[in-house]
């Protein structure tokens, strides 16, 4: 069937990895091309390469099998040539185009009639360059090299805008080995290049993300070799050279370990294909670093684990903070325990104090009741006889005045005065007790109004003795019990008049305040007291030495003290440098 076979075998490691033979059959050329794991036969009806034919095959057995399937008629070969999805063109050694199949015409946009006889670079210059025509072979073209070496050459070129092709130049040789023509195969790789670019961009994005996240990422082989690491791992372990495929348990520990870490989650992942996690205590020289490691498997298409992705987070600072927090909590628990014990002791003591105070209050209440009974008893058993004595003495003095001598009359006057004092004392005792028992009626009162009432009450003795009365130009309103405050001021002024002596010439009322209290004071320039005497004058039945011969109960200032304490304040005295005394009383602002 074939009258002549001339072989022109190409190198096995050439880009196409195929063999090429030339066949002749009745003036026609047959080409057998391996494409996409199939063998196509192309029959060309022209004697383009005189006396030489081309066949491309992987091996003799594959060729014979494929050829027998395709068929032996020229029409079969022509059909394949016309419809094969690869551009095929033929040119001589002067770059002139001799033939091209429809797919090549479609992709280049050039008809066969226009291309025949023209050099390929001339055609390219006319169609695809601008006003500056360049009539010379393209700089990336491998045709000159293929002619020179007689070997297949492959390169990639954007043939037309948007059409990227992998071009394979196949030299056709004579029996003497001389290159007498060329076959140019164009395979459309536009989509492949686009996908490659997208994959490259995706890979760059992925690499950028991996390199810039705050955790370490490494790829570990089934043999525990480090295949790659990201920037974070490089910062932690700058000495690692992944090109040498070092073992992870040696490189990630200082000093290096001799075997796989017992806790290693990556080792477990490589064995069972599951995700594992662990927190490590990794020695790095003089310190221990704590890493949280999460290991995930990578599978091949058969489902076998081919590597593991190891994600590493340095949690040393977190562990230190957690330990500090744990110690703080422990200290806090100890403090709470200690405080609880102390509070328990205080609570027990407080309960005892409460019980004691309850007993004291009960005793005080009982004492108060006894005092009340005593007061009633005094009022009934002491006051009534005193009143009777007073009445009988007056009758005696009235009806027997002519009989009584002067001494008898003096005795009667003394009995009358003593009876009056007893009655006054009983009355003051009742006042003192009622003051302690009576609840306050707190209201807004004007101090100026109270002082006006006191001044009018004592107007006669003040005028008779020509005593000067002074008070501030402005006095505020305060909250207090009106009648209690009248009693306090009345007592202070009465004390000054009673015990100030004959040289008393001035009584001065003053006012000041602090953050919590209103403070009233009554000063005089009378006889005054010693420092020692001023310490006890607010006690029950305490009287001054200057009070000798002056009627009084010794309860007035004690009543003032009780009123001050009921108003959240206190009472005190201040002795003048040479003479006089000042009585002070404070009243809380928070009543």
In the numeric block, which tokens belong to residue 269?
């992942």
Q: What pLDDT shows up at residue 6?
A: 33
Contact (Cβ atoms closer than 8 angstroms) between residue 15 and residue 23? no
What is the spatial distance between Cα 73 and Cα 25, in angstroms, rounded to a whole number?
11
What is the longest distance spanned by two Cα atoms in the chain?
Answer: 197
What is the spatial distance between Cα 493 and Cα 45, in angstroms, rounded to a whole number?
149
What is the spatial distance between Cα 161 and Cα 108, in angstroms, rounded to a whole number?
10
Q: Quick one: DSSP state of residue 117?
A: T
Cα–Cα separations (whole angstroms), residue 451 to 111, 265, 460, 507: 130, 93, 15, 12
Q: What pLDDT shows up at residue 524?
A: 92
Q: What pLDDT shows up at residue 414?
A: 79
Is the backbone of residue 426 left (phi > 0), alpha (psi -120 to 50) or beta?
Answer: alpha
- Return the closest-CA partner of residue 218 out of 321, 105, 307: 307
Q: What pLDDT shows up at residue 182?
A: 92
What is the spatial distance between Cα 505 and Cα 102, in angstroms, rounded to a whole number?
141
Q: Helix crossing, 482-499 with 447-457: angle to 10°?
A: 40
Cα–Cα separations (whole angstroms), residue 330 to 319, 321, 322, 337: 16, 14, 12, 10
DSSP 372-430: HHHHHHIIIIIIHHHHHHHHHHHHHHHHTTTTS-HHHHHHHHHHHHHHHHHHHHHHHHH
DSSP 8-58: -PPPTTSTT--EEEEEEETTEEEEEEEETTEEEEEEE-S--STT---EEES
Q: 3-state class of 335 per DSSP?
A: helix
532: β partners: none
What sign has the CA pseudo-torsion 106, 107, 112, 114? positive
305: β partners: 299
For residue 206, give every residue at least 6 positions away whose Cβ sits within 8 Å of its Cβ, in sequence order, or none: none
Q: What pLDDT shows up at residue 437?
A: 61
User: Per 3-state DSSP, what percentage of the chain is helix, strand, and coil (rounded to 5)?
Assistant: 45, 25, 30
The pairing of strands 28-35 and 19-25 is antiparallel
Per-residue pLDDT of the chain (591 residues; tens, 9 = 90+): 233 333 333 333 333 433 333 333 333 333 444 333 333 333 333 333 333 333 333 343 444 444 444 445 667 667 777 888 899 999 999 999 999 999 999 888 889 999 899 988 888 777 665 555 667 778 888 999 999 999 999 999 888 788 888 999 999 998 888 999 999 999 999 888 888 888 888 888 888 888 888 889 999 999 999 999 999 999 889 999 999 999 999 988 888 888 998 889 999 999 999 999 998 888 777 788 888 999 999 999 889 999 999 999 888 888 888 888 989 999 999 999 998 998 899 999 889 888 888 888 888 777 766 766 666 666 666 666 777 777 888 888 788 878 888 888 887 887 877 777 677 667 666 666 666 666 778 899 999 999 999 999 899 999 999 999 999 989 999 999 888 898 899 889 988 898 888 889 999 999 999 999 999 999 999 887 777 776 677 765 455 555 444 444 567 788 888 889 989 999 998 888 778 899 999 999 988
Number of other residues whose CB lies within 10 A of the CB of residue 64: 12
Is the backbone of residue 441 left (phi > 0), alpha (psi -120 to 50) or beta?
Answer: beta
What are the backbone dihedrals phi and psi of residue 264, each rounded to the nearest 5 degrees, phi first? -60, 115
What is the spatial distance between Cα 117 and Cα 460, in angstroms, rounded to a whole number?
152
What is the spatial distance between Cα 181 and Cα 150, in angstroms, rounded to a whole number?
10
Q: What pLDDT shows up at residue 257?
A: 87
What is the spatial distance between Cα 435 and Cα 153, in angstroms, rounded to a whole number?
126
For residue 513, give every residue at least 6 positions away whose Cβ sits within 8 Å of its Cβ, in sequence order, or none: 476, 519, 589
Cα–Cα separations (whole angstroms), residue 337 to 326, 346, 556: 16, 14, 54
Q: Which residue has the tokens 């009143």?
A: 387
Q: What pLDDT shows up at residue 438?
A: 66
Q: What pLDDT shows up at residue 448?
A: 93
Q: What pLDDT shows up at residue 419?
A: 74
Q: What pLDDT shows up at residue 534?
A: 67
In the numeric block, which tokens belong to residue 32?
């057998």
């Amino acid at each position: 069937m074939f009258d002549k076979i001339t072989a022109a075998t190409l190198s096995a490691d050439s880009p196409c990895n195929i063999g090429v033979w030339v066949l002749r059959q009745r003036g026609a050329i047959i080409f057998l091309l391996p494409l996409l794991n199939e063998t196509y036969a192309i029959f060309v009806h022209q004697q383009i390469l005189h006396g030489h034919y081309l066949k491309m095959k992987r091996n003799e057995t594959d060729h014979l099998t494929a050829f027998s399937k395709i068929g032996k008629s020229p029409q079969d070969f022509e059909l394949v040539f016309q419809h094969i999805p690869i551009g095929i063109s033929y040119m001589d050694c002067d770059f002139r185009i001799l033939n091209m199949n429809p797919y090549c015409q479609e992709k280049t946009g050039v008809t066969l009639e226009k291309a025949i006889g023209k050099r390929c670079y001339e055609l390219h210059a006319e169609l695809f360059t601008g006003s500056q025509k360049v009539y010379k072979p393209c700089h990336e073209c491998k045709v000159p090299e293929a002619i020179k070496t007689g070997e297949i050459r492959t390169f990639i070129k954007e043939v037309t805008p948007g059409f990227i092709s992998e071009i394979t130049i196949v030299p056709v040789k004579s029996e003497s080995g001389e290159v007498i023509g060329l076959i140019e195969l164009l395979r459309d790789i536009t989509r492949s290049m686009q996908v490659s670019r997208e994959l490259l961009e995706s890979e760059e994005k992925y690499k950028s993300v991996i390199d810039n996240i705050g955790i370490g990422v490494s790829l570990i082989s089934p043999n525990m070799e480090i295949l790659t690491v990201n920037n974070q791992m490089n910062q932690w372990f700058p000495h690692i050279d992944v090109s040498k495929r070092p073992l992870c348990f040696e490189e990630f520990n200082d000093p290096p370990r001799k075997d796989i870490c017992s806790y290693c989650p990556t080792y477990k992942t490589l064995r069972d294909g599951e995700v594992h996690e662990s927190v490590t205590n990794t020695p790095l020289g003089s310190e221990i670093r704590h890493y949280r490691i999460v290991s995930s498997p990578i599978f091949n298409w058969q489902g076998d684990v081919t590597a593991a992705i190891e994600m590493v987070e340095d949690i040393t600072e977190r562990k230190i903070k957690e330990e500090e927090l744990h110690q703080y909590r422990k200290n806090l628990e100890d403090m709470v325990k200690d405080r609880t014990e102390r509070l328990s002791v205080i609570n027990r003591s407080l309960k005892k104090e409460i019980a004691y105070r309850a007993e004291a209050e009960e005793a005080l209440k009982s004492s108060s009741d006894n005092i009340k009974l005593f007061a009633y008893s005094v009022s009934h058993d002491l006051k009534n006889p005193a009143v009777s004595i007073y009445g009988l003495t007056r009758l005696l003095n009235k009806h027997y005045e002519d009989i009584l001598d002067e001494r008898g009359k003096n005795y009667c006057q003394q009995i009358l005065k003593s009876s009056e004092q007893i009655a006054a004392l009983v009355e003051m005792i009742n006042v003192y007790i009622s003051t302690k028992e009576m609840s306050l009626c707190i209201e807004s009162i004007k101090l100026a109004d109270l002082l006006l009432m006191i001044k009018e009450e004592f107007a006669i003795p003040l005028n008779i003795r020509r005593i000067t009365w002074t008070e501030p130009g402005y006095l505020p309103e305060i909250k207090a019990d009106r009648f209690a405050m009248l009693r306090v001021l009345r007592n202070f002024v009465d004390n000054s008049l009673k015990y100030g002596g004959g040289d008393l010439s001035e009584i001065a009322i003053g006012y000041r305040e602090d953050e919590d209290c209103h403070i009233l004071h009554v000063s005089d320039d009378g006889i005054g007291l010693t420092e020692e005497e001023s310490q006890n004058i607010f006690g029950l039945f305490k009287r001054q030495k200057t009070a000798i011969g002056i009627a009084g109960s010794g309860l007035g200032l004690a009543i003032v003290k009780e009123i001050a304490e009921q108003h959240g304040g206190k009472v005190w005295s201040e002795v003048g440098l040479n003479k006089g005394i000042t009585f002070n009383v404070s009243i809380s602002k928070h009543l």
